[in-house]
Amino acid sequence: MDNYRPKLEQRTIRQLSRASFMILLALLQSSFAPGFFHSRVQLVLIAVIAWTLLRGLAAGTRWAIYGGVSLAIITPQPIGADLLALTLVAVLIAVATEDFPQDTLLLPTVSVTIGSLVYGVVQAIILRLTGHPLAWLQYALTIVLPQTFVNTVIAVPSFLALQLWDRYNRRIGWI
Amino acid sequence: MRSSITAVKQGRSVSRRALSAALVVMIVAALLIPLDRAGLLDRAKGPLQAILMPTQRLLTNARLNVSSWSDDLLHWSTLRRRNGELEATVADLRRQVIQLQTLQSRNDALERELGIRQVYGWHMVSASVIQSTSSAGRRMIRIGKGKLDGVSVGMAVVAKEGSSPPSLVGVVDRSYAQTADVLLITDGTFSLAARTTSRTPAIGLLVGQWQVGSRTRLEEVDRDATIASGDVVVSAGLSKPVSNDTPLAQIPANVPIGVVEQVSGSNYAKSAEVRPFIDPDRVRDLWVVTGEDPK
């Protein structure tokens, strides 16, 4: 039983369902999520962080790929920008939280705060490298910090929802 | 065990394999950025966007409806006061309409000029907003018309809201088969030659200011130019007569943009805060100016 490995079609269906979920999240984030302080809740980023915390780096990277590609299709961002930022955040969160206990809600909160800051900085660097002028201080004050605040506010409920889903998946054997 | 960086703690560890995979993904992502910027991935992106377009439009409209409803609810007292002001304005306008109707009989030409096409001579394609940007702090929208409808990079995008004139909300930044991305006038990377409509026009560079907490600003105005609060700002159309190949040459002159709110200056130049006639973030339906009648 230890060597049990789902069949190819089972794995494909699981990955497709996860990809569909991330497309849905990207659609909600870009088109429906309410804005606060001119910032939208970054549902995809929060999902990637939460899933990295729940399932580890490999799963987080997969979600980063689905989310990054979805955002690249849906938003005017260049393909690769969100993918790069999301994967980097997943790696940082996985490595930095490895030794911390998982049974506290402080971990997702702090992870989302740090992850949002890193994500904002990476996006800013990509913008700058692709030839867009950038006033760093104003960018940080008007975009990165409000975005981080908004994401942090919604971090815990999002994490709890994904945790419930994760437990349900484990119960039905959909690991 | 060898593939694990540290011992498993709390049931989770970061394996070398997962780290390597993530690194490969990041390298691929970094390579995709310049490829996409060069337009090499548009063929793949365009059809996928077209598939998702109806859902995006549906969600965007739903969000705008919810936002509008909640705004109404939150600003009930403001709305009542505004309603009173509007009623006074309507009464004044009715008086003006009666005057105009008297004059209309003497001026058949003006009568024909009702409507944007007749007034401005623009050729337009109507479009609706299917999505507004959510990340990276850029002010952009995606519209449901693209290359197949004659929309190309650099074309002016105008909208009309309530009693406002048809006003510039942005410029087509990228065009796909069935969709196009529009860079809004409030974005920090937006810049366009603009002028006031006063007798002695003040010419300057209109730049977006959203990333620094404002809307738009007319900069580099000659220090001796006359510019005052309340002046109407329109596009200068400086590129067009030169007939060069830059995308911005497609923007006609005299496209209304906004009103000067506050003027400031230094020893070298003046600048002014410009309030756009239309808040680009709230626009749903708009037109892309694809050309204009020959003068």
Q: Indicate if the pLDDT at residue B290 is higher than 60.
A: yes
Q: Provide ipTM, 2 decimals.
A: 0.85
Contact A162, A51 (CB under 8 A): yes
Q: Please tell me which residue of chain A has the smallest CA distance to B210.
A: A142
**Dihedral (CA of B135, B138, B141, B147) sign:** negative
The answer to which of A104-108, A142-146, B6-10, B152-156 has the lowest mean pLDDT is B6-10
Q: Which residues does chain A have within 8 Å of residue B33's beta carbon, measured at their own beta carbons?
A: 78-81, 84, 126, 130
Using one digit for the tens of pLDDT, what is the confidence trace for B120-134?
Answer: 778 888 888 888 765
Instruction: Judge: B30–A84 Cβ closer than 8 Å, yes or no.
Output: yes
What value does the mean pLDDT take over residues B86-94?
86
Q: Any chain A CB within 8 A of the CB of B93?
A: no
Residues 6+ apart with CB under 8 A from A98: B6, B9, B12, B13, B14
What value does the mean pLDDT take over residues B187-212?
86
Q: Indicate if the pLDDT at residue B178 is higher than 50.
A: yes
A99 vs B13: CA distance, rounded Å: 9
Most A-contacting residue of B24, B25, B55, B181 (CB-CB within 10 A), to test interface: B25
The strand pair at B256-265 and B191-196 is best described as: unpaired
Amino acid at B67: S
Q: Any chain A CB within 8 A of the CB of B38?
A: no
Q: What's the length of chain B?
A: 295
Percent of chain B scoring above 70 in pLDDT: 82
The strand pair at B140-143 and B122-132 is best described as: antiparallel
Contact B21, A61 (CB under 8 A): yes
Using one digit for the tens of pLDDT, what is the confidence trace for B148-159?
Answer: 999 998 899 998
| pLDDT band (50, 70, 90) for residue B28 | very high
Q: Tokens standing for B77?
A: 């007292």
Candidates B12, B48, B59; nearest CB to A28? B59
Q: Indicate if the pLDDT at residue A37 is higher than 90.
A: no
Q: Indicate if the pLDDT at residue A65 is higher than 60.
A: yes
Q: Please tell me which residue of chain B has the smallest CA distance to A76.
A: B181
What value does the mean pLDDT take over residues B17-21?
90
Instruction: Judge: B211–A143 Cβ closer than 8 Å, yes or no.
Output: yes
Q: pTM for this structure?
A: 0.68
B232 vs B198: CA distance, rounded Å: 8
Q: Indicate if the pLDDT at residue B244 is higher than 70.
A: no
Q: Indicate if the pLDDT at residue B212 is higher than 70.
A: no
Q: Taking all residues of chain B, what is their mean pLDDT, rounded to a whole number? A: 80
Instruction: Judge: A94–B14 Cβ closer than 8 Å, yes or no.
Output: yes
Specify the pLDDT at position B117.
Answer: 65
Instruction: Judge: A64–B25 Cβ closer than 8 Å, yes or no.
Output: yes
Angle at B198 between CA B193 and CA B200, to 5 degrees: 80
